[in-house]
Structure 1
């Protein structure tokens, strides 16, 4: 890969996640303070991410994979996104805001797969070349949070500017995309079935009892995850934490640190323990939030944010590696698409529709009874952890469907 190509891809990845991090973290606070939205309305707005994740494979499978170059589809979607983000700053009420944010997420979520496709096409050794470029994406999210905190937009009730900032970045990335290396449609002229689009060719993996338990746990653990994404920023701002968005970026810093340490943990813990530790971190995070405050228990709030690195890396990244090893070469792409659709699509969607009414139910004259609110996702995560520990054995052989040639690795023996 030439230096010019590397710079272009790195810039693309930085902007891709800078755009998302610019508005997504603080949207709940914006909706509550500026548009007087309820908890249920807030959660409904966040569910747009899940609907985008569910619809995204159809856009990729039916358009980008068959008819147009990935970088051109990426450019068009980001230009549409820039217009929608700017338009949303002119809307004075939630009823007008909701359909626009839904339209935006339907445009944005497919770009997550497109930036990967553009990157991989230029690489001869993705396992070594992709991580340094992907890290720029996490850095983009971090910079967005730090910038919001430094500018004090939460304290000055100026969060509408986050959408304008994201719109400008989306415009830049949209234009840059047309200068990215050519990435022709991978399946031009081929017939694409619904099974291909939704990754259903990998459904035979669910015949493996252990993988079925992992799959169910993955969907279920995304229910409490929705509480974190939807309400952490409103919670911290209600507690009067200064620069809450900037503090939340510590979670992405933690993610980078634990990602680097994962190979060491794999050797010592193995798959089951890695996944269990990730879910245990979920429980602890919400317990810390439940009992944390701006006074003597301030450390609990920071610890809860730091635990995001373990929550994400130990469960989702380990799960992706587990799925990749189990599926084999033929079905690995379909399997990753299927598990993503189930978690960020179905699991997060359920969590969004659950979290909003719960937050509204525990609303008080002074704000919210956050202790009770956070103990609910802690309890859900605890139940998922308990079921996983009891039933996940990872010793069953896969019952192959016709044409599905997969061998299950021994517990804990995954290549990293």
Structure 2
């Protein structure tokens, strides 16, 4: 791989996740402060990610894989996305904002698969080369959060409004840049496939046979269930941190992405020593501990609990989701590895996050107090309880029938290829 190609792929990854991190983290705060939404409406806004995840396989399977070059589709989707984000920044009500952001997420979510596809098609040795490229995506997310904190866009003015509409415009600018730049990326033509593609193939439903394995079925159900408390984190952490008085909350939240990179490096070591069941259980336990820390943390003597809860994101995500993706890959047959990954992603980011987004909004609304504030102690104990229940059922029923995978067979590149910020 030439230096020019490496630079192009790295910049692509940086912009791809800068765009997402530039507005998604602070969305709940923006909606509550500027558009005066309810918790249910915030949850509905975040479930647009789930809708996009459900629709994405159709876009990739029907269009990108069969008819057009991936880099051209990436360019068109991001140029259209830039216009939608800029338009969304000017919305004055949730009714005007929601359909725009829904359409945007339907266009954005497929690009997550496209950037990986473009990268892998250019690499001769993905296990050695991909990590140094994909990590630029995490860096892009971190830079977006630090920028928001540095510019103090989360601070409220005398009218109680923030400047977070500027995050949408910043993301729109980056999306336009990536859209134009995509046409300069290395050509990635579609792979020629014979015959029609069945709907089940697009959704990865041929991998449903994995559910015949009792342990995998338990893991699958746990994956869906654990995404319910995950929705609380994505939808309301920034709102919570700003309400309790944390300065530059979006910037501080980037510590979660820093920990993701750190624990990603450690996955091969832990995987070989602990095996699948213990890794998954530790990941779920981290969710319980995180929400307990949030429930009892504050901006005073217990400030360390807030920081610890954020830093635990690396264990929460890597130990459960990345380990689960590796576990799925190990069980799937050679002909259904991609389908299996698509199936578990559809179930978690699609079904699980959709349920969680609807539930979390209602719970937050039910615990609203005077002055548009919330009883966060009571709120965070609910996802902690859900995560604890999922953990208990998982530990009792799941049996790790597979021996721990040797560390040398799980490279940082392989794990990082599954990393989603």
TM-score interval, smaller chain:
over 0.9
Q: Which residue of 2 aligns with 1:202?
A: 207
Q: Structure 1 stretch 50-59 or stretch 125-134: which is displaced more? A: 125-134
Q: Which position in structure 2 is the counterpart of 1:217?
A: 222
Aligned to 2:391: 385
In 2, the alpha carbon distance for the partners of 1:343 and 1:15 equals: 25
Asked whether the equivalents of residues 272 and 412 of structure 1 are also in contact (C-alpha less than 8 Å), the reply is no
Cross-structure match for 1:114: 114
Partners of 2:232 and 2:195 in 1: how far apart? Answer: 41
Distance in structure 2 (CA, Å) of the matches to 1:154 and 1:41: 20
2:179 equivalent to 1:174:
yes
- Does structure 2 retain, via aligned residues, the 8 Å contact 1:28–1:233? yes
1:165-203 Cα deviation digits (max 9, x unpaired): 000000000001011111111245542111110001111
- Give the aligned partner of residue 284 of structure 1: 289
Q: TM-score, normalised by structure 2?
A: 0.94
CA contact (8 A) 2:206 2:336 kept: yes
Structure 2 counterpart of 1:404:
none
Q: What SS does the corresponding residue of 1:348 show, helix, strand or coil? A: helix
Matched residue, 2:309: 304
Q: Say which of 390, 400, 404 aligns to 1:394.
A: 400
Superposed, 1:227-376 pairs within 5 Å as 227-366=232-371, 367-376=373-382
In the alignment, the residues of structure 1 paired with residue 61 and residue 349 of structure 2 have an alpha-carbon distance, to the nearest angstrom, of 18
Helix, strand or coil: the match of 2:333? helix
Instruction: Mark the CA change 1:118 to 1:412 in structure 2 (over 3 Å): closer, same or farther.
Output: closer
Kept after mapping to 1: 8 A contact 2:203/2:343: yes
Shift of 1:413: 5.8
**1:410 is aligned to 2:403:** yes
The Cα shift of 1:120 comes to: 0.5
Off by >2 Å, runs of 4+ in structure 1: 187-190, 409-415
Q: What do residues 217-272 of structure 1 show as CA deviations (whole Å, max 9, x unaligned)? A: 00100000000000000000011110000010000000001111111111221111
Unaligned runs of 5+ in 1: 396-408
Q: Aligned partners of 1:61 and 1:253: how far apart in 2?
A: 33
Structure 2 Cα separation of the partners of residues 120 and 412 of structure 1: 24
Unpaired stretches in structure 2, ≥5 consecutive residues: 157-161, 411-421
RMSD: 1.1
| TM-score, length of structure 1 as denominator length | 0.95
State how far apart, in whole Å, the 2-side matches of 1:187 and 1:202 are. Answer: 22
Which whole-Å CA distance do the structure 2 matches of 1:91 and 1:314 have between them?
Answer: 39
| Deviation, structure 1 residue 412 | 5.4
Of 192-201 and 12-21, more deviation after overlay is shown by 192-201
1:403 aligns with none
Task: Check conservation: 1:21, 1:142, Cα contact below 8 A.
Answer: yes
Conserved 8 A contact 1:35-1:93? yes
Please show how residues 139-150 of structure 1 align to structure 2 within 5 Å. 139-150=139-150
Structure 2 match to 1:406: none
CA contact (8 A) 1:270 1:413 kept: no
